[in-house]
Copies of this chain bind each other. A is one copy, B any other.
Amino acid sequence: MTEEMTAKLEQLAELQKKMYAFNYASSSIYLDSATVAPKDTEEGRGEALAILSEYGYDLATRKETIELLEYLNEHKDELTPHQAREVELLLRDNEFMKTIPVEEYIAYQKVLSKADYVWHKAKAENDFESFRPVLKEIFDYNIKFAKYYKPDQNPYDTQLNMFERGLTMEKCDKFFATLREHIVPLIKKICETSKNETLPVLTGFPVEKQKELTKYLMDYMGIDPNHCVCGETEHPFTLEFTKDDVRITTHYYEENFEFSMYSVIHEGGHALYELGGADEHKYTAVAGGVSMGIHESQSRFFENLIGRSEAFITAILPKVKEIFPKQFRDITPRMAYEMINKAQPSLIRTEADELTYCLHVMIRYEIEKKVFAGELSVDDIPAEWNRLYKEYLGVDVPSDSEGCLQDSHWSGGSIGYFPSYALGSAYGAQMLAKMREDIDVEAVCASGSLKPIADWLGERIYQHASMYDPEVLFEMVCGAPFDPTYYVEYLEKKFSDIYGV
């Protein structure tokens, strides 16, 4: 290797470590704000984050960085595959970042840092009006940035690509149409039965006891407590510092043990993905999950395909009965399975059952698409939200808190993220079919530890972190391109069986 090349590679490593450090700092500040920080502290946090993000922006876009990346890109054939991927990913980020004027980038970071607080308050007080101007700013910045980045492309396609490379509205529309075609009639049939009225409703779960359940579930999933702990927050999320330091969060409701239970399993799925990265990716752009679609495929794999399966529920019921003896005294495994999988149109996405869930996602997708196309103003989001809930799910939305203010994504700037949830669910169903060729999934669920399942995913997905683009990785795992039929068939089989329809 030439001396010049050695020096450049050292610079590349140094650049990525600096980016890592700034990400670490922002993540730490975010984690604190979302879990333990006192309420009225957003000003000081916003000031600090704005300055740190300015440093991050400068690192990514400064002349030296661009020259370095371009030099290495021109000498691709001298790089290891890992180094080449580092350069590729950094250049991609750079292409996006360099199109945004620095003042706008910083101004947007300030909006975001304020938005979280404004949204929380608006949601608590059912006051869309107070959130509206901030939400409008966030949509406007995202539309503007998408146009800066790819002036010749539909900005919502650009936006979808930020979370799932390769995704387009055309693909989304086709995918959602397939889902709608099968799910809507199935839900209709289910609603015609009186099954839901026979399912037990349990209440009164002390938080301290729910914390015991969290520990048990994380252990069952094979999550190492020396590298991952669970905090409390309003809207559960997962955050990774490195592959050795991942945090999940949950929210405990006394009246509803399911919310936290499935948040823990869902976030636990994200955590396993991050914890399973190979050491070589550390402190490089390749570290961390490759896309939101793949990430959600892992979280929703554990949440639904495993966590809401009859085998898993049967396996953990004895422990659940031990923790909540009174509530679960008369509950058989089959009853628990049916209760957990109760399908019914509802208001809140994160509390929706597996079957109706995708309809919640579609509503958000339709709204984002329309705002990006200029066909819907942010002012009219509440009305459009309520109209779509009526149309798709048949429910009346009684308040914006239970309507368009329910999710944290938009206030965090994550527009174009929602389709990943549905897509990830469908990815997972196809992965499960592939997994069954190697593993007796039901036997693993019953065995007291999901580790063999996580190991299978780890070998095929986790260890690679961001080495391969999502479409490539998917085909590596499944040996075929993505096909939503697996998911539709899975849902039809599962819910026809439960509801006898």
Quick one: given A24-B44, A32-B31, A48-B24, are A39 and B226 in contact (CB under 8 Å)? yes
Contact yes or no, A245 B47, CB < 8 A: no
A186→B228 CA distance, assembly (Å):
51
A residues 149-181 touching B (CB-CB < 8 Å): none
List chain B residues, Cβ under 8 A from A35.
36
The 8 A CB mask of A9-35 against B (1 = contact, 0 = none) is 000000001101100110011011001
Q: From residue A248, how far is it (CB to closest CB) to chain B in Å?
A: 11
Interface centre among A28, A31, A225, A241 (most CB of B within 10 A): A28
The proximity string for A residues 37-67 relative to B, scoring 1 for CB distances below 8 Å and 0 otherwise, is 1111101110111111001000000000000
Pick the residue among B20, B40, B44, B244 that contacts A40 (CB under 8 A). B244
- A44:B226 contact, CB within 8 angstroms: no
Q: Given the complex of chains A and B, what is the CA–CA distance between A247 and B51 in angstroms?
A: 22
Asked if A40 contacts B227 (CB within 8 A), the reply is: yes
- Asked whether, in the complex, the Cβ of A242 is within 8 Å of the Cβ of B32, the reply is no
Q: Are B38 and A229 closer than 8 Å at their CB atoms?
A: yes
Whether B51 contacts A17 by the Cβ 8 Å rule is yes
A231 within 8 A of B: yes
Contacts of A28 in B (CB 8 A): 25, 28-29, 32
Specify which of A20, A48, A51, A242 lies most central, judged by the most chain B CB atoms within 10 Å of its CB: A48
Which residue of B is nearest A39, CB measured?
Answer: B226
Q: Known interface pairs A226-B38, A226-B39. Does A47 touch B20 (Cβ–Cβ under 8 Å)?
A: yes
Residues of B within 8 A of A77 (CB): none
Given contacts A24-B29, A25-B25, A52-B21, contact A225 B38 (CB under 8 A): yes
* Contact between chains at B40 and A226 (CB < 8 Å): yes
Provide the residues of chain B in CB contact with A37, threshold 8 Å.
229, 245
Q: Contact at A43–B244, with CB atoms within 8 Å?
A: yes
A145 partner residues in chain B, CB cutoff 8 A: none
> B283, A41: Cβ atoms under 8 Å?
no
Question: A47 to chain B: which residues have CB within 8 Å?
Answer: 17, 20-21, 283
Cα of A316 to Cα of B51 in the assembled complex, Å: 45
Instruction: A45 to B31: give the CA distance in the assembly, Å.
Output: 14
Interface flags, A209-243, vs B, CB<8A=1, else 0: 00000000000000001111101000000000110
Name the one of B17, B21, B45, B245 contacting A245, with C-beta atoms under 8 angstroms.
Answer: B45
Q: What residues of B have a CB within 8 angstroms of the CB of A52 in the complex? A: 21, 25
Distance (Å) between the CB of A48 and the closest chain B CB?
Answer: 4
Interface: A438 (CB within 8 A): no
Whether A4 is near chain B, meaning CB under 8 Å from some CB there, is no
Q: Are B227 and A51 in contact (CB under 8 A)?
A: no
Cross-chain contact A241 with B41 (CB below 8 angstroms):
yes
Q: CA A28 – CA B241 in complex, angstroms? A: 13
Contact of A208 among B29, B208, B225 (CB under 8 A): B208
A50 to B24, CA, bound (A): 12
Q: Mark A418-450, 1 if CB is under 8 A from B, else 0.
A: 000000000000000000000000000000000
Residues of B within 8 A of A226 (CB): 38-41
B residues less than 8 Å from A245 (CB atoms) = 37-38, 41, 44-45
- Assembled-state Cα–Cα distance A245/B33 (Å): 11
* List of B residues within 8 angstroms of A41 by Cβ: 226-227, 241-242, 244-245
Which residues of the partner chain B approach A43 to less than 8 Å between Cβ atoms?
A: 242, 244
Q: A21-B48, A25-B29 are in contact. Are A38 and B242 (CB under 8 A)?
A: no
Q: How many whole Å from A436's CB to the nearest CB in chain B?
A: 33
Chain B residues whose CB sits within 8 angstroms of the CB of A20 once the complex forms: 47-48, 51
Collect the chain B residues with CB atoms within 8 Å of residue A39's CB.
225-226
A residues near B, CB below 8 A?
17-18, 20-21, 24-25, 28-29, 31-32, 35-41, 43-45, 47-52, 55, 208, 225-229, 231, 241-242, 244-245, 247, 282-283
Show 12 residue pairs from A and B whose CB-CB distance is below 8 angstroms, ordered by the A residue.
Answer: A17-B51, A20-B48, A20-B51, A21-B51, A24-B45, A25-B29, A25-B52, A36-B231, A41-B241, A41-B242, A44-B242, A47-B283
